[in-house]
Amino acid sequence: MAVKTANKPTKNTKKASASQSSKFTKDTYVKWYKDMLLIRKFEEKTGQLYIQQKFGGFCHLYIGQEAIVAGTASACKEGDKHMTAYRDHAHPIALGTDPRVLMAELYGRSTGCSKGKGGSMHFFDKSKGFMGGHGIVGAQIAMGAGVAFAEKYAGTDNVAFVSMGDGAVRQGALHETFNMAMNWKLPVIFIIENNNYAMGTSVERTTNVTDLSKIGLSYDMPSRAVNGMSPEAVHEAIAEAAERARKGDGPTLLDIRTYRYKGHSMSDPQKYRSKDEVAEWMEQDPIEHCLRVIK
Amino acid sequence: MRNVQFREALREAMSEEMRRDENVFLMGEEVAEYNGAYKVSQGMLDEFGPKRVIDTPIAELGFAGIAVGASMNGLRPIVEFMTWNFAILAADQIINSAAKMLQMSGGQYSCPIVFRGGNGTAGQLAATHSQSFEAFYAHVPGLKVITPSNPYDAKGLLKAAIRDNDPVVFLESEKMYGDKGDIPEGEYIIPIGVADVKRKGKDVTIVSFGKIMKVAFEAAELLAKEGIELEIIDLRTIRPIDYACVVESVKKTNRCVVLEESWPLASISSEISYHLQRYAFDYLDAPVMRVTQTDTPFAFSPTLIDEALPNVERLIKAVKQTLYRN
């Protein structure tokens, strides 16, 4: 039976975006639109090919969550580093990796971004600062802080962006890392791609603290919730956090509330949520939203 | 030559490499202000400062992961675990992250990192504090595993480990930190993957590593009085194993006993035994024997410890079995 979820979509109205659009140029909207559409189409094609058994392994699609990587990509700079978990197809695309080398990786080819050694869950592109693609839930949280550690050690103003799902918040690695990242003021931004489901288990069923933006507070980490269906909101939150990190003021936790339209992986029957819930979130689709603003 | 403690040899290796390469740093519990739980890093905070000698909270998984990420991004961390028993909490980062990164990223990211600390039994510390991890980590492709048995080897191998571009598991012993040995004045490096014949002999080959080797040396002295000459091989590196050295020795002696501090199942002794029956079958005059810890969690009582650990008596008995003598 589907359960009520704490997260509700925030409306992306054209009116709201028109008022916000003064902050962002039409070029920015066009860039977001193109990036997100490319990701959406890549993922739709990936899903089709997977069903046709063109390649094997696990396959986790990013459809619905595109505004997070689009808003991050527009707010970061060259030299910044990016790391995520296994739902990793969108990040390198947003950073400019040729989708063909990603598709080659899905096919297990030596021409793939990880030479066919990594597959869907382990994309890497060093030339774009994309440091994976990691298969163990929460492991990338500590590694990402380590990436930031090296930037601070070298005295750069680069920032490490570490993405995780809402399920990873329950791993001990997160809490150990948050503690050290704050203690050492590491230039790292922790991004929860909060789609409200750890595979089939909703946030509400695994914790009493359903507002994940509060998780950082016990480490005195600046933390906030962000509308993940809005590239504008993501961009602004990322830019603010990055500025703080570049100044040497340490980490930020962003609980970016989003939704995946598809199942956890390609083999997910999605019995844990209602069609109405999915439809409600799809009404706030970030790609449609950008198109409305551009028009 | 200088006569130094094992811990001093390790400290010299780390300090020399940190002077040589700005990107090498040391992190772990109590390594800085406390000067090391076992005083391995004594004085290093004073020389290198808090940027490069870093105290961590008690969070093995977290700081191992931070080290792995730092190693992917240009640094060469040395991670000290107070003991390897506690590093079980960090096994995800060692096995799932560090060991896999170079291969999984298609060669784009390596993890030049050394994980080091006390390993094996260390007196009456009971079951959770007495485990040996050679076989655990040697099982994993992508890791290198080193177990030195004396200060000279410890320094040369640790320097090689720090310069290596792969993650290295470096297994020491609380019981060895005070051991003394001679090391040369100048710099030297011992290559990873090369075993060392610590004693020449013609009758039976003993293959061993780490602090339990002392049992072999003692047995060799006693057996020499009976006219039995042991050839003692110190593997030094457990992954990759120098199989050629072992096979060459057995071709000469035709008999082998593997002496290992840890448990028998899926152990280094079972691996060596397999390799000898496969590659030295026609040279063996007796089945390969082994002396290991008993197949139980390690106990607290001294009486039970004596029963559990390999000792001279058990080794001599095994050697004589390969010679068909009583």
**CATH number of the domain that residue B24 is part of:** 3.40.50.970
Please check whether residue B313 lies inside any domain of the structure: yes
Looking at the DSSP assignment, which residues form a beta bridge with residue A253?
A: A190, A223
Query: Which among A109, A180, A182, A184 is the top mutation candidate for probing chain B, defined by the most B β-carbons within 10 Å of its own β-carbon?
Result: A180
Angle at A89 between CA A83 and CA A95, to 5 degrees: 60
Contacts of B64 in chain A (CB under 8 A): 142
Is the CB of A122 less than 8 angstroms away from the CB of B104?
Answer: yes
Looking at the fold, whether B8 and B142 belong to one and the same domain comes out as yes
Looking at the fold, whether B89 and B229 belong to one and the same domain comes out as no
Looking at the fold, whether B43 and B165 belong to one and the same domain comes out as yes
Domains of chain A: 12-294 (3.40.50.970)
State the pLDDT at residue A6.
63
Predicted-assembly ipTM surpassing the 0.90 threshold: yes
- pLDDT(A3) > 60: no
Is the CB of B105 less than 8 angstroms away from the CB of A172?
Answer: no
Is the CB of A142 less than 8 angstroms away from the CB of B68?
Answer: yes
Looking at the fold, whether B162 and B307 belong to one and the same domain comes out as no
Looking at the fold, whether B166 and B207 belong to one and the same domain comes out as no
- pLDDT(B83) > 70: yes
Instruction: Give the rounded percent of residues in chain B with a pLDDT score beyond 90.
Output: 100
The last residue of a domain, from among B183, B206, B237: B183
Instruction: Kindly report the average pLDDT of chain A as a whole number.
Output: 93
pLDDT in tens, B17-43: 999 999 999 999 999 999 999 999 999
Higher pLDDT, A10 or A215: A215
Contacts of A154 in chain B (CB under 8 A): 74
Please check whether residue B189 lies inside any domain of the structure: no
Distance from CA of A32 to the nearest CA of B (A): 28
Distance from CA of A128 to the nearest CA of B (A): 12
Distance from CA of A143 to the nearest CA of B (A): 4
Residues 6+ apart with CB under 8 A from B210: B119, B120, B132, B134, B147, B148, B149, B171, B173, B261
The last residue of a domain, from among B152, B183, B214: B183
pLDDT in tens, B211-263: 999 999 999 999 999 999 999 999 999 999 999 999 999 999 999 999 999 99
Looking at the fold, whether B172 and B200 belong to one and the same domain comes out as no
Structure tokens at A95: 């950073």
Instruction: Give the rounded percent of residues in chain B with a pLDDT score beyond 70.
Output: 100
Looking at the DSSP assignment, which residues form a beta bridge with residue B79?
A: B27, B115
pTM for the full model?
A: 0.96
Separation of alpha carbons B214 and B173, rounded Å? 13
- Band the pLDDT of A14: cuts 50, 70, 90: low
Question: Can you give the CATH number for the domain in which B304 is found?
Answer: 3.40.50.920
Looking at the fold, whether B41 and B68 belong to one and the same domain comes out as yes
State the pLDDT at residue A13.
60
Which residues form the domain of B85? 2-183
- What residues of chain B, 27 to 86, have a C-beta less than 8 Å from chain A? 51, 56-57, 59, 61-75
Say which of A124, A135, A142 has its CB closest to residue B65. Answer: A142
B129 is catalytic: yes
Determine phi and psi for B113, rounding to 5 degrees. -145, 145
Residues 6+ apart with CB under 8 A from A13: none
Looking at the fold, whether B213 and B128 belong to one and the same domain comes out as no
State the pLDDT at residue A11.
79
HSE (CB half, 13 Å, CA atoms) of B162?
27
The last residue of a domain, from among B138, B155, B183: B183
Please check whether residue B268 lies inside any domain of the structure: yes
State the pLDDT at residue A10.
83
Looking at the fold, whether B179 and B270 belong to one and the same domain comes out as no
Residues 6+ apart with CB under 8 A from B64: A142, B79, B87, B90, B93, B94, B115
Looking at the fold, whether B68 and B118 belong to one and the same domain comes out as yes
Instruction: Kindly report the average pLDDT of chain B as a whole number.
Output: 98
Looking at the fold, whether B233 and B203 belong to one and the same domain comes out as yes
- pLDDT(A245) > 50: yes
DSSP B70-127: HHHTT-EEEEEEEETTGGGGGHIIIIIIITTHHHHTTTS-----EEEEE-S--SS-TG
Please check whether residue B200 lies inside any domain of the structure: yes
- Of A34, A65, A13, the C-alpha closest to A264 is A65
Looking at the fold, whether B99 and B171 belong to one and the same domain comes out as yes
Number of domains in chain B: 2
Separation of alpha carbons B237 and A131, rounded Å? 31
pLDDT in tens, A126-140: 999 999 999 999 999
> Are B194 and B236 contacting, i.e. CB atoms less than 8 angstroms apart?
yes
B275 is catalytic: no
Structure tokens at B204: 């039976």
pLDDT in tens, A46-91: 999 999 999 999 999 999 999 999 999 999 999 999 999 999 999 9
Across the range A30-51, mean pLDDT stands at: 97
